[in-house]
Structure 1
């Protein structure tokens, strides 16, 4: 079968994102998306490496293997693909594409961090003193990283509004999203051996969309002095397709000017900024277009900082950028920013909205320039909010 790829498709031969899917009546296995079909790599390449329900075995083999596999796939889809290996997208079930080992979330947008600083500390400097010296982050909960399509029950916890004398327990009243880009580690590192910025592409396999769901009222009450905990740990969702880092060469751009100059271990000779354009849809209506190119810290700097103390990275580790936000009000990637803490509602479905209600559906999409022109799509990340249990 010759697979036709429309010119406007974000899933052409420049992309070829990996995912894990089940064909009708079959077991989960690894495939790539081309246009609106999924190619079963185990069947097409006659290779048991892909007849497994996870990308981890492939990712663990390292960059040289990733390059060789990509060459094989490009050659395959440039000609005739066996009919039995081609499945229409609407007929397959998509799964979590990799087994998550560890999860770290950063806070890499100066616009987002400054906006939250102005909201939470109006009489102080927007950024904390350390922010421009290191990529700030926290360790999340790998076990609650979930795939697109998974419902999000509203979390319960302690919350205390400023006008309340004591905390109460119950469902979050300020449920929020964070539109982020996540990076998936393929090749791990040795204990005690930091990963330098120049080795980023030796370790990171690809990128996914991330929604870091956030209960702002739970977070506000608990986060001092140790940071995010129950306000974040209930759910982090990711898109079903992992865009290979090898596909993102055409999207590389410099990061914004970093002043003061970072310490030597964070300095990049070839910056890993990425020109990725997000879209956030709330019940089908676009409310924001966050630009990833505005992110102050690059993913290479994030990984270097994550490992500089000797901590390892492992196959399946996921680290996310933190909320992607730009300088304009319609480029903010979290509703706490977009509605300025609820003081400036946005109109969705003909009525003013601030934070999420039960039944709301959030969809994140994103695209980046392809090396040979056109765009590379990152897939669609959609989840619906359910009532608290």
Structure 2
């Protein structure tokens, strides 16, 4: 148990310890922090007083973002986590370490890592079936390839933004219901509630990463909101897929939950039928029991279950590299929209309102189909922790601002 007051009953207990990058009014330099309860431990300050100045690990922990730590690999990640837990539970260290804590309310959060590449998947069968029913009501909801490989697209890493960043409504070409071509602000702006995976250890170009190599290469998890302009997307996506309807902004949480913190949340993944090809097989096939909560202007409108995802994070990584594409520290991939079998488990407003035909009434009485300017969406999540505890993934929040011009 941690000596930090309130940490034991927090979603950010010593069993969690997510990493972020923060600054304060008194010290504007971005630096790595670890959240414990309602406090942030200044890791740079912690290692500056260590007995091993100049070592690779201390240098990584003293960096301005997580990329050097990501590159250090899983053995280092495990050692650092153990040392942090020791610092925050050993009462003999309390007098020293407590001086390095800052209340969460007084910190400014930054992008936790510099993204290298970004891939977004489409791995929820419930989401894919819902979209198939909406767009192809008289056909098979799933495309022929869907149960044979994790479908995905290469996104725009430069528009990954940290939680709290305001989202400017995108403009683009779209076709009206009457068939006319027009240009202007998106009228069907949507969200996608997802879980994202931060890659650490690299791989060589020309090699592939097996599904069982997931924990050796992936450092941790964040929540994701893949903002989507559905009207722009509908006009542009055939035959090459998402482009401007997706690339304007994708928000991610600023606290990165280490994979080790989710060990107690592992659950068997859904059965896959037909059988997948050998490169997608896992010796221990599991997903994570993460329950998301989607809040629209303060009203909870959905609770998508990540445990229902058909394709696992390990399979996504294996597929992403099977052609020899290399991994780099800071590579990032997202699960795709998380949706469950029930209407209240749908992770996009396109599904939730059934393409605008079933409006949602919020707590203040306002009615919504898609996002209007001024709307705020916040996605949170919880997962089982060790010894009956619960951990909470850092939220991802964004507010819609009017289109420019």
TM-score bin (small chain): over 0.9
**What RMSD in Å do the two structures reach over aligned CA positions?**
1.1
Equivalent-residue separation in structure 1 for 2:88 and 2:205 (angstroms) = 39
Q: Is contact 1:31-1:50 (8 Å) kept?
A: no
Aligned residues: 388
Match of 1:115 in 2: 130
Within the candidate set 269, 276, 283, 2:297 is matched to: 283
Match of 1:153 in 2: 168
In the TM superposition, residue 372 of structure 1 has moved relative to its aligned partner by 2.1
Q: Find out whether 1:58 has 2:65 as its counterpart.
A: no
Equivalent pair of 1:5/1:34 in contact (CA under 8 Å): no
CA drift of 1:30 comes to 0.3
State which of 209, 218, 233 in structure 1 corresponds to 2:232. Answer: 218
- Asked if structure 1 preserves the Cα contact closer than 8 Å seen for 2:188 and 2:230, the reply is yes
Residue equivalent to 1:21: 22
1:203 to 192, 197, 217: 217
Name the structure 2 match of 1:106.
121
Q: Which of 70, 90, 108 pairs up with 1:93?
A: 108
Q: Does residue 1:355 correspond to 2:366, yes or no?
A: no
- TM, length-normalised to structure 1: 0.98
Kindly state the Cα deviation for residue 23 of structure 1 after the two structures are TM-superposed. 2.4
For 1:252 and 1:328, the matched residues in 2 are separated by: 22
Q: Normalising by structure 2, what TM-score?
A: 0.94
Output the CA distance in 1 between the equivalents of 2:294 and 2:134.
22
Q: Secondary structure at the match of 2:79?
A: helix
Give the C-alpha shift of residue 376 in structure 1.
Answer: 1.1
Residue 73, structure 1, aligned to residue 87, structure 2: no
Instruction: Give the corresponding residue for 1:258.
Output: 272
What SS class does the counterpart of residue 386 from structure 2 fall into? coil
Match for 1:37 among 23, 36, 39? 39
- Aligned equivalent of 1:11: 12
TM superposition shift of 1:271: 1.3
Contact 2:165 / 2:399 at 8 angstroms: preserved in 1? yes
Deviation at 1:129, TM superposition (A): 0.3
Which residue of structure 1 aligns with residue 184 of structure 2? 170
Deviation of 1:7 (Å): 4.2
Contact (CA 8 Å) 1:55, 1:98: kept in 2 or not? yes
Structure 1 ranges of 4+ moved more than 6 A: none
Q: How far did residue 269 of structure 1 move?
A: 1.6
Secondary structure in 2 matching 1:30: strand
Structure 1, gaps ≥5 residues long: none
